[in-house]
Structure 1
Amino acid sequence: MDFAIALDHTIKIPIHRQLYEELRRSILSGRLAPGQRVPSTRSLARSLGISRATVTLSYEQLLSEGYLKTIPSSGTFVYCQLPDNLLQPTAIQPTQEAKQQPVQLSAYGANLVDLQLLMPSKTELPINFSCYGRPALDEFPLGLWRRLLARACQLQPTMLDYATNAQGYEPLRQAIARYIARTRAVRCEVEQIIIVNGSQQALDLVARLLVECGDLVAVENPGYLDARQAFLLQGAKLAPIPVDDLGIVTDRLITDPAAKIKLVYVTPSHQFPTGAVLSLSRRLALLAWAQQTGAIIVEDDYDSEYRYSDRPIPALQGLTINDSVIYIGTFSKVIFPALRLGYLVVPQSLVSVFARAKLLNDRQSSILEQYALTEFISEGHLESHVRRMRSLYNQRRQTLVQALEQYFGNSVTVLGENAGMHLMVQFHRDLSDEQIVLKAAQVGVGLVSANPYYLEAHSTGEFIFGYADLSEEIIQAGVSKLAQVLMN
C-alpha cells in the first residue's frame, strides 16, 4: 500500500530516526490503527527511495518499544495495545475512609515535624555578623587543595570504589590520631576513630545509638541547638544546665541525685554560644561524676584550634581514665564548611556498633576528599593554615571588641574567652531582641539573637557576632552603623 511520509535529507537528524518518529506519530494519532498491517521493509524502502536497511532499523526500534509486532508468514502490524496507553495510570478514586487517613509518620518523623530548625543565614545584608560559623573562605589555599584532589584522582580506580572500611580511610584516621594527640592531648588508637560527614552526623549517630525515648539528656543552657534537636528527635527529655563564665555549672549535675542522666553534651573548649571555657576544676568534677553515675559525656570540640591568649586547652577525653567520653571533631571550621568531614573518637567497646551504624546510615564518606585531607594533614598544611588563621582571626576579634567598646562603652558587655570564631555580646538597651535585629537590618547589618539557644525563650539582649569571614574595615563599619541606630 502507499504510505506518505515526509523525510528531509537536508537536516542533521538521521533518516532512520526521522522515519521512526513519523511512524510513531502516525500510530499514536490513529493514522495507523491498532491491528493495521504496515508496509514491508522492502516496499516502504522502494516507495520512499531509501535503503531497506534504513527502514529495517526504524522498524526494529518500533518493535522493541512495543509499537509494532511481527506475525510469522503474515507481516508486521500495529500493536493492539499501544505502550503510551499502558504508561497512563488508571484513575482510582480513593474511598472516603482513605481520604481521611493521613500518612502515619514514625515517632522520629513526628518529632521532626515539630522542631524549629535554624538554617544557615541567607541574608543579603551588606554586613552580616550572623554567620558565626563561617571561616575566611578567601584565605583557604584552594590551589593546593585542587592539586591534592587531582592527585587522588590519579589513583583510580581505588579512590572511586566502595570503601573497604566503614570507619573511614585508614591513612586519614592515622593522620587524625597523630594530630589530635599532639594538639588536643586526645588519647586513642586508630581503630577508635570513625570518619563522619561533619559533626552533625556524629551527633545523629550518638543520639540514635545511645538515647531512647524518655532518657534524660543534660545540655548546656544556652547551648548548641542542633545537638539539642538530635536528642529530641530520639524522644529524649532535656535537662538544661546553666552556663556561667567558667562553663557548664557542674554542681547542678552533681547535686541532683533524683535525676538519672543518661548523657551530657558539652562544648568545654569554647562553649557555644557564650564562649566560656570550662575550668579545670569543673572538668575534673564532670569526669568524676560521669564515672560514678555511668553517664556518657559527649565532648564537641568544634573550634578549639582558635585560642588566642594561651595554647589550646587539652580535651576532656585526654583527662579521663575510663570510657566515659565520646569526642567529636570537625574540619568545617578550620578548612571550609562544604568539606563534610568530621570524626568521632569512641570508646573501644562502642567501635563496632558505631561503625555498623555509619555503614547503614550512608555507607561511607567521600574517599576522594578523605585522601586529599590525609595529605593536607600529613604534609603539615593543616597546622600551617591554622596558625595563619589564628593570627588573622585574633586580629579581627580584637578589632570587633575595640569597636564595640569605642562606640557603645558601658552599654555593651562582651562575653566569653579570647577564642573561637564568634563572640557573644549583650546590649544594655531598652529594646527587645526583635527590635534590635530590625534596627540593625535597617542600616544593612545582620544580627542573630542568642534567644533560640536557650531552652526557655526569653529576651536576653544577647547576640552572637561572627567575625572570622569579615575584614577589619567591614567590622568597624558594621559596629559604627549599629551604634547609629541603637545608641540614639
Structure 2
Amino acid sequence: MDFALALDSHSPVPYYQQIYEALRQAILAGRLSAQQRLPSTRALASSLGVSRATVTQSYDQLLSEGYLQTVVGSGTYVCDQLPDDLLHTPGLEVASALPSPPVSLSVYGRRLVDFADRPTPEPDAPISFRYGRPALDQFPLALWRQLLSRHCRQGDWLDYATDPMGYWPLRCAIAAHLSQARAVHCQPDHILITNGTQQALDLATRVLVSAGDAIALEEPSYLSARSVFTSQGAILHPVPVDESGLNVDALTQLTAPIRLVYVTPSHQFPTGAVLSLPRRLALLAWAQQRGSLIFEDDYDSEYRYTGRPIPALQGLGNGQSVLYVGTFSKVLFPSLRVGYMVLPSALVPVFRRAKWLSDRQVPGLEQAVLADFIAAGHLERHIRRMRSIYDQRRQALVTALTQHFGDRVTILGENAGLHVMVRFQTQIPDADLIAKAAQVGVGLISASPQYLGPSPGHEFIFSYTELDESAIVVGVKRLTALGL
C-alpha cells in the first residue's frame, strides 16, 4: 500500500476498528485511489502483527459500507463511487436545500402542540421535598434480585403474552391482595395490568370519552390526569374539595351530562383530604342514577397512620360504576411501571382490545417476579415496614413545621399517604419562595399547577418519603430564613 498503517497498542480502540478507520481515511483522502487493489487479509495481518480475523473484520465493515468491493479470483479493491460522494450529488444537494413541507397533524396532535399544561419542574436541591418517589434505599433489592434470577433462568417470559390483560398469576395475586387490604370486589379476570396509572388514564379516556364529553374532577386535582383528559378534547368541570374530600353536593348541581368523574378518595391529591363515608355513598348513588362512571385513583392508599382505613369506593358498591386503579410505583419503585385496573365486567372485552392495540402487554419478566413477590407475602411485609418508616418521617415533618412556624402554617392531609400539603400565611409569591428556598438548599414544589382555576397560592406539596428525619428537620429549619 502507498500509506503507512500503524496500530496503537495503548489505545482503548480495538485493532480492527483502528485498521478500519485508517483505511477509510486513506480512501477518503485519496491516498488509496479508486480501483486500487488492497493487500490480502493474510498479507496485511502478517505485516501488522495481528490475527487474520482482525483484518477480515475491518475489511468486512468497509465492504458492507460501500468503500471496498471484491472481485472473485482477483482480490479486494477500492470502490469507484464512495458512499460519501453520494451525499454531495447535485440532485441531493438541491433537494436538501428545499424547505420541508409542513407535517399535517391530527386533531389530537394539534391539541398536544397547543398544550398549556407542562410537567412541574422538580427542584434540584440537597434537601428536596419533591413528590412521587418512595424511599428507594429501603427496597429489599437482594430479595427482588433473587426472584428475578429465578425467572431469568426459567425463561418462560420470553414469548409474546397470550392475554393482553396481563400475567394470570399476577392478576390472581393482586385480586387476593386488594380483597384483603382494600375490600375491593374483584376477580382476576376483571383485572387489567397496565404500564402504571398514566396508561390506565389514557386507556380509559380513549375507550370511554369522546371529544366534547364532560368530565368532572376534583379542584385541585392531579395535573397529569387533567392533561390526559384535555388532550382527548374532554370538557372539564372542576368540583371543589374541602376537608371531607370531593363536594358531592356541588357535583350534583352540574347540569352537563358527566361521562366520567375522576377522584382520589383515599388521600386526595394534592390536599390529602379523605373522602368521608357519607360522601362516598352519595357519590356512588349519584353515579348509578346518572349512568356516569367513576375513575377511582387509589395511588397511595397503602399508607394510613391513624384511624381505621375506609374501604375503597369500589368495594362499597356493586363494582359496576367504578374503574378502580392502583400502581406499584410508589409502593415498590417507579421504574417497575406496573399498575392495574379493576374493571366493571361489561367493560372487560373492550379494554382487552384497547390494551392489545396499545402495546400488547406489560413486560412479562417484571410481572412474573411481582406475582411471586406478592404471593409469598413480601409485599405485605414491605408495606408494614415502610408504613413505620414513613410514619416517623411524617411526624418529624409535622413537628418541625409546627415548631418553626406555629399558626403561620396549616398542614393538610397528614394522616395518610406519602405527602402533606402545607399552606403558609405569607404574601411572598410562590415563585419567589421557591427561588429563595433553592438558595438555602431546599427544594419546594408549589401546589398551584394542580388547580384548573385560579390558585389561592402559598400552598406547597411536601413529601417526606425520600428524606430521613434529620434531613427533614434541617430542611424545615432552613425555610425559617425565607421570611415566611
Place the TM-score, normalised by the shorter chain, in its bin: 0.7 to 0.9
User: Which residue, out of 248, 251, 268, partners 2:249?
Assistant: 251
User: Which residue, out of 417, 421, 426, partners 2:423?
Assistant: 426
- The match for 2:187 is 189
The alignment-based identity, stated in percent, is: 55
Does the CA-based 8 Å contact 2:157-2:364 persist in structure 1? yes
Does the CA-based 8 Å contact 1:271-1:277 persist in structure 2? yes
For residues 28 and 476 of structure 1, the distance between their equivalents in structure 2, rounded to whole angstroms, comes to 64
Residue 64 of structure 1, CA deviation: 6.4
- The match for 2:432 is 435
Does the CA-based 8 Å contact 2:123-2:443 persist in structure 1? no
Residue 478 of structure 1, CA deviation: 1.8
- The match for 1:236 is 234
Does the CA-based 8 Å contact 2:394-2:414 persist in structure 1? no
Post-superposition CA distance 1:38-73 (Å, at most 9, x none) = 59979x99xx999xx99x969985766655667889
For residues 280 and 108 of structure 1, the distance between their equivalents in structure 2, rounded to whole angstroms, comes to 38
CA shift in 2, pair 1:322/1:346, >3 Å: closer
1:75-154 matched pairs, under 5 angstroms: 79-86=79-86, 90-93=92-95, 101-113=101-113, 114-119=115-120, 121-124=122-125, 126-129=126-129, 131-154=130-153
Unaligned runs of 5+ in 2: none
Are 2:315 and 1:318 aligned? yes
Residue 373 of structure 1, CA deviation: 0.9
Residue 324 of structure 1, CA deviation: 1.3
For residues 173 and 486 of structure 1, the distance between their equivalents in structure 2, rounded to whole angstroms, comes to 52
Are 2:450 and 1:449 aligned? no
User: Which residue, out of 326, 329, 348, partners 1:329?
Assistant: 326
User: Given residue 187 of structure 2, which amino acid in structure 1 is its aligned partner?
Assistant: E
SS at match of 2:94: coil
Are 2:371 and 1:374 aligned? yes
Are 2:345 and 1:342 aligned? no
Residue 454 of structure 1, CA deviation: 0.8
For residues 471 and 275 of structure 1, the distance between their equivalents in structure 2, rounded to whole angstroms, comes to 21
For residues 339 and 66 of structure 2, the distance between their equivalents in structure 1, rounded to whole angstroms, comes to 51
Q: Comparing 273-282 with 390-399, which one deviates more in the overlay?
A: 390-399
Q: Which has the larger radius of gyration?
A: 1
Does the CA-based 8 Å contact 1:436-1:486 persist in structure 2? no
For residues 481 and 72 of structure 1, the distance between their equivalents in structure 2, rounded to whole angstroms, comes to 78
1:251-400 matched pairs, under 5 angstroms: 251-256=249-254, 258-321=255-318, 323-400=320-397
Residue 418 of structure 1, CA deviation: 0.7
Does the CA-based 8 Å contact 1:277-1:417 persist in structure 2? no
Q: TM-score, normalised by structure 2?
A: 0.87
User: Given residue 280 of structure 1, which amino acid in structure 2 is its aligned partner?
Assistant: L
Post-superposition CA distance 1:339-359 (Å, at most 9, x none) = 111111112222222222222
Residue 16 of structure 1, CA deviation: 10
User: Given residue 107 of structure 1, which amino acid in structure 2 is its aligned partner?
Assistant: V
For residues 299 and 349 of structure 2, the distance between their equivalents in structure 1, rounded to whole angstroms, comes to 24
Post-superposition CA distance 1:358-408 (Å, at most 9, x none) = 223222222221111111111111111111111221222122222222221
User: Given residue 301 of structure 2, which amino acid in structure 1 is its aligned partner?
Assistant: S
Does the CA-based 8 Å contact 2:246-2:275 persist in structure 1? yes
Post-superposition CA distance 1:309-360 (Å, at most 9, x none) = 1232211111222521111100111111121111111122222222222223
Does the CA-based 8 Å contact 1:306-1:312 persist in structure 2? no
CA shift in 2, pair 1:356/1:85, >3 Å: farther
SS at match of 1:338: helix
User: Which residue, out of 410, 415, 440, partners 1:413?
Assistant: 410
Q: Comparing 335-344 with 358-367, which one deviates more in the overlay?
A: 358-367
For residues 18 and 432 of structure 1, the distance between their equivalents in structure 2, rounded to whole angstroms, comes to 59
For residues 438 and 359 of structure 2, the distance between their equivalents in structure 1, rounded to whole angstroms, comes to 40
CA shift in 2, pair 1:136/1:29, >3 Å: closer
Does the CA-based 8 Å contact 1:433-1:459 persist in structure 2? no
- The match for 2:224 is 226
CA shift in 2, pair 1:485/1:68, >3 Å: closer
Unaligned runs of 5+ in 1: none
For residues 247 and 355 of structure 2, the distance between their equivalents in structure 1, rounded to whole angstroms, comes to 33
Post-superposition CA distance 1:158-186 (Å, at most 9, x none) = 12222222111111111000000110111
For residues 379 and 400 of structure 2, the distance between their equivalents in structure 1, rounded to whole angstroms, comes to 31
CA shift in 2, pair 1:64/1:198, >3 Å: closer
C-alpha root-mean-square deviation of aligned residues, in Å? 3.5
Does the CA-based 8 Å contact 1:167-1:358 persist in structure 2? yes
Does the CA-based 8 Å contact 2:3-2:31 persist in structure 1? no
User: Given residue 118 of structure 1, which amino acid in structure 2 is its aligned partner?
Assistant: P
CA shift in 2, pair 1:222/1:65, >3 Å: closer
Does the CA-based 8 Å contact 2:123-2:445 persist in structure 1? no
Does the CA-based 8 Å contact 1:222-1:272 persist in structure 2? yes
Does the CA-based 8 Å contact 2:194-2:341 persist in structure 1? yes
For residues 402 and 14 of structure 1, the distance between their equivalents in structure 2, rounded to whole angstroms, comes to 60
1:193-232 matched pairs, under 5 angstroms: 193-232=191-230
For residues 37 and 458 of structure 2, the distance between their equivalents in structure 1, rounded to whole angstroms, comes to 82
- The match for 2:154 is 155
User: Given residue 202 of structure 2, which amino acid in structure 1 is its aligned partner?
Assistant: D
For residues 18 and 452 of structure 2, the distance between their equivalents in structure 1, rounded to whole angstroms, comes to 67
For residues 482 and 72 of structure 2, the distance between their equivalents in structure 1, rounded to whole angstroms, comes to 88
SS at match of 1:438: helix
SS at match of 2:386: helix
User: Given residue 237 of structure 2, which amino acid in structure 1 is its aligned partner?
Assistant: A
User: Given residue 109 of structure 2, which amino acid in structure 1 is its aligned partner?
Assistant: G
- Length, aligned pairs only: 476
- The match for 2:466 is 469
CA shift in 2, pair 1:300/1:39, >3 Å: closer
Q: TM-score, normalised by structure 1?
A: 0.86
For residues 477 and 21 of structure 1, the distance between their equivalents in structure 2, rounded to whole angstroms, comes to 56
CA shift in 2, pair 1:398/1:82, >3 Å: closer
User: Given residue 137 of structure 1, which amino acid in structure 2 is its aligned partner?
Assistant: L
Does the CA-based 8 Å contact 1:432-1:459 persist in structure 2? no
